[in-house]
Structure 1
Amino acid sequence: MKDQSTCLKGIKTNRQHEFLSDLEQNYFHLTEYSDSVVDIREKFPLLPLEETIVIAEELDLKYPTDPKTNEPIALTTDFLLTVDKMIG
């Protein structure tokens, strides 16, 4: 399976979605056609940037930064799904 960046317009969301691998794109297709999934967001921030920096400091961890700009990088999850519990 070759990794590549791909953009697709979601039928369910009517938004552009960006995928960094074939695996992400395949998972998107599964969620796109699931009746219980009502919204799909990718590369979604886990918490506000400031909060993740504080957590890293409290744990005495070096927070990840962009190697070129040295700016903090937002920590994200590959997918955040909103599901309707009444379906499925």
Structure 2
Amino acid sequence: MATSYADSAQAREWDRKMDEWGQPKPSPTQGPFHDYEAAALKRSAAQAAKSERELAERKALAMRINAAVDQMAVFWNLKERPE
């Protein structure tokens, strides 16, 4: 009981101070909140872009490794030179 009274008294005091300062009272929708759906969409879009980039990097890395192995095979006469 005492807590609810204190909370309501504090709220009334806050409203009084805001009115005295001439500042508009923020509505509950304007207050700080976290949009979980927007954050999840942003995270999933970032993960999709990251996975696409990683796939492209892995393909490029595989091509570079194959080229290096082919060069070593040509150097050691394990493979014919491409014409």
Q: TM-score range by the shorter chain?
A: under 0.3
Relative to the length of structure 2, the TM-score reads 0.27
Does 1 or 2 have the higher relative contact order (CA < 8 Å, sep 6+)? 1
Q: Which has the higher helix share?
A: 2
- Which protein has the larger Cα radius of gyration, Structure 1 or Structure 2? 2
Q: Which has the higher strand share?
A: 1
